[in-house]
Amino acid sequence: MKFFSKVIASVAVTTIASLTLFESSAQAFTLTTYQNSLSTLRILPYGDSNTRGYKNPSGYRNDLQKLFKDRGFKVDFVGEKQWCDVSDQSFGNTKKNNSCDKADPKFLDLDHEGIGGIRINEMLGETPEKGRENFVISGSVNNVFDKIKNDSPLIVLLMAGTNDIIGQKQKAKDVIEELGKLVDEISEQNTDAIFVSTIQPFGSEHPLVDESKEYNKSITESLKNKINKSNQDKVFVVDHELLEKDAKNNTNVHSNSNGYTQMANKWFESILYNAERISIVDNEISAGTNNSAGALSINGNLDVVVNSRLSVQIGGTSQGKEYDFIDVGQKATFSGSNLDISLLNGFIPKKNDVFEIVSAKFLKFLEKPRLFNNLDPISQTINFDIGNKKQGQFKVFVDDNTIKLSNFKKTTPEPGMILGLMAIAGMGLSLKRKSTRV
């Protein structure tokens, strides 16, 4: 996923800017991959039809769930609404209904609170205009949280304002005032972090396209000024950086599938970046995904603990682009974990190439002197399969802040060694299976 590294750079910049500006550094939530019900990450997607999905019962939500799931995180999306069937004319604006029996199994978790057409003043529960009473009943923040109070979402994803601009004909400067009030209201609820995002800019033929851009600018530049200081620490602004062309042509205000995928990536990167601690237990942390390299920025701490893997793909010498790079703002701790290396696209490193795969403010190995389970403690090398019955070998260099790989060489494994490696791999698998059942 090439997209991943681009996304992260911009999210990181946005967030650093807002943190510096408001000197807000408290981060209240922890992410963990451990398959333990106590650590389920409950997320409330809250907003209008772009949260619900347009002509598609999942919007950005299914892509976002996949990003978490692929990395072993256990997430539960919450909300009273579901849209299970595209032929359902209520478009998921109502509570779960019979059409949910027909839900496509590719959708992981359809729960949400995206209400097509809703405006921010209605989410605030203000006196409804004539004929819009149902929006206030259905979507006002107190009502929503009252209905899901047993779910107590750790994180709220909020995207709203489109309908204030197109339906209510409000100016961006007035909508941002309402958004600030809504964010304060959500902050008073039982939740740890609120991610507030920009909206889909309207398509270029829409008469209010400039207003939508002005509104997005005000979200990134001044939303935090509109909310109470006491709430600022748990509010994170996410700039989806969506383009006009990603507005679906026949509506000009809904995202197309490209836009929804981009939203999912940005939400995901922003949540990971802003977590206080990310614990990888019995799973894998990797900057890119399966077949491409990327960069992953983590502002807080990273723990990679027993039976877990730091997985690194190398397809060239450009950090974070051609080979995986994880940048940890605070402490990175490795304890009893493996370092899995693989080469991409037939790339063969040179002996003098140096790959800085991890950088952290503080780097700690709790199992020292064995930095990784699969590291030879004498030679400080790791062997890995490179195909055609060949192995590659890197020497691992570690200092207070970085993990680097260099001194690449090709080796030919002894036949006995291959069997030995297969046995170890088999053992690893059975251990992993056991531990996931605990």
Rounded Cα distance between 405 and 342, Å, is: 12
- Shortest distance, position 173 Cβ to Ca ion, whole Å: 12
C-beta of 160 vs 194, nearer to Ca ion:
160
In whole angstroms, how close is the CB of 224 to Ca ion at the nearest point?
20
Contact at 8 Å (CB) between 92 and 139?
no
**CB of 45 vs Ca ion, minimal distance in Å:** 10
CB 427 within 8 A of CB 373: no
Asked, as a colleague might, if the bond just before 207 is cis with ω within 30 of 0, I would say no
List the x/- string, 168-207, binding to Ca ion by CB under 5 A. x---------------------------------------
Q: Quote the least distance from Cβ 42 to Ca ion, whole Å.
A: 8
Report the residue number, 80 or 276, with the smaller CB distance to Ca ion.
80
Q: Least Å distance between CB 149 and Ca ion?
A: 15
Least distance to Ca ion, CB of residue 156, Å = 14
- Write the burial class of residue 150 (CB in 10 Å: 0-12 exposed, 13-18 middle, 19+ buried): exposed
Segment interacting with Ca ion (CB under 5 A) among 91-99, 103-111, 214-222, 253-261: 103-111
164 binds Ca ion (CB under 5 A): yes
Of 113 and 324, which CB lies nearer to Ca ion in the complex structure? Answer: 113
Q: What are the structure tokens assigned to 356, written together?
A: 């800085």
Cα separation of 412 and 408, whole Å?
13
Count of residues in contact with Ca ion, rule CB under 5 A: 9
Closest contact distance (angstroms) between CB of 170 and Ca ion is 5
Write out the DSSP string of 197-252: EPPPPPPTTSTTHHHHHHHHHHHHHHGGGGS-GGGGGGEEEE-----GGGB-TTTS
Tell me whether residue 438 is exposed, middle or buried, using C-beta atoms within 10 angstroms of its C-beta: 0 to 12, 13 to 18, 19 or more: exposed
Least distance between Ca ion and beta carbon 135 (Å) = 11
Query: Of 105-113, 314-322, 328-336, 338-346, which segment contacts Ca ion by CB under 5 A?
Result: 105-113
Stretch that binds Ca ion, among 81-89, 106-114, 193-201, 366-374 (CB under 5 A): 106-114
Q: Which helix (H) or strand (E) holds 407?
A: strand 402-411
Give the CA distances from residue 191 to residues 76, 151, 399, in Å, rounded to whole numbers and listed in that order: 14, 10, 39
Q: Which residue is nearest to Ca ion (CB)?
A: 164
Could you say which of 32, 51, 58, 121 contacts Ca ion (CB under 5 A)? 121
Q: Which of 19, 74, 109, 367 lies at the binding interface for Ca ion (CB under 5 A)?
A: 109
Binding to Ca ion (CB under 5 A): which residues in 39-78?
76-77
Nearer to Ca ion, 111 or 322 (CB): 111
Q: Is 246 in the site for Ca ion (CB under 5 A)?
A: no
Nearer to Ca ion, 45 or 392 (CB): 45
User: By the 8 A CB rule, do 132 and 20 touch?
Assistant: no
The DSSP call for residue 128 is: P
Stretch that binds Ca ion, among 1-9, 117-125, 224-232, 383-391 (CB under 5 A): 117-125
Residue among 119 and 206 whose Cβ is closer to Ca ion: 119
CB 73 within 8 A of CB 41: yes
**Strand bridging mode 309-314 / 295-298:** unpaired
Distances (CA, A) of 358 to 16, 100, 254, 256, 405: 20, 44, 39, 35, 10
CB 277 within 8 Å of CB 31: yes
Nearer to Ca ion, 76 or 356 (CB): 76
Integer Cα distance of 164 and 151 in angstroms: 29
**Smallest distance from Ca ion to CB 70, Å:** 18
Q: Is 284 in the site for Ca ion (CB under 5 A)?
A: no
Query: Does 82 interact with Ca ion (rule: CB under 5 A)?
Result: no
- For 361, the token pair is 């403010």
Residue 37 or 352 with smaller CB distance to Ca ion: 37
Closer to Ca ion by CB, 82 or 256: give it.
82
What's the chain's Rg over C-alpha atoms?
24
Q: Return the number of the residue (4 or 145) whose C-beta is nearest Ca ion.
A: 145
Query: Stretches 62-70, 119-127, 314-322, 342-350: which one binds Ca ion (CB under 5 A)?
Result: 119-127
Residue 119 sits in the site that holds Ca ion (CB under 5 A): yes
Q: Which residues of 66-92 are buried (b: 16+ CB within 10 A; e: fewer)?
A: ebbeebbbbbebbbbbbbbbeebeebb
By CB under 5 A, name the binding residues for Ca ion: 76-77, 109, 111, 119-121, 164, 168
